[in-house]
Amino acid sequence: MTKSVYFFDSYAIIEIVKGSESYKKYTDSSILTTKMNLFEVYQTVVQLFSENEADEFLENCNSFLVDYDFSIIKQAALMRIKLKKRNISMVDCIGYCTAQKLGILFLTGDKEFEHFEGVEFVK
């Protein structure tokens, strides 16, 4: 059986780190994310736990990383402008557009994405 592949936004990664029941079923999935998402996660893990735990987490994330090109930067910027009233972060726009380009679901609990196409929304 092959693992499911998702683009984990920062919210999803943080929920897994916190041990959220809602996200337990995703712990065996293949994770893809960006360095910018890891920045957000690292900051949160330091605040919730400790710098040492955040360092340990970061050391194990290299295999999760996916890069994005200029087309994603453009697409994400236009998305953010178009959805200005929804207050979606730059990092989330880049992540969502990256997931779309890769043809995988964007895993999040961010309410702004609840009804988006291509999103696995989990609260």
Rounded to two decimals, what is the model's pTM? 0.94
Q: In the chain, pLDDT over 70 holds for what percent of residues?
A: 98
Return the axis-axis angle of helices 90-102 and 35-48, rounded to nearest 10°. Answer: 130
Provide, for the chain, the percentages of residues in helix, strand and coil under a 3-state DSSP scheme, each rounded to the nearest 5.
Answer: 60, 15, 30
**Confidence check: pLDDT of 66 > 70:** yes
pLDDT in tens, 14-41: 999 999 999 999 999 999 999 999 999 9
Contact 107/14 with Cβ under 8 angstroms? no
Q: Cα Rg for the chain, rounded, in angstroms?
A: 14
All structural domains of the chain, each given as residue ranges with its CATH number in brackets, are 5-118 (3.40.50.1010)
pLDDT band at residue 3, thresholds of 50, 70 and 90? confident
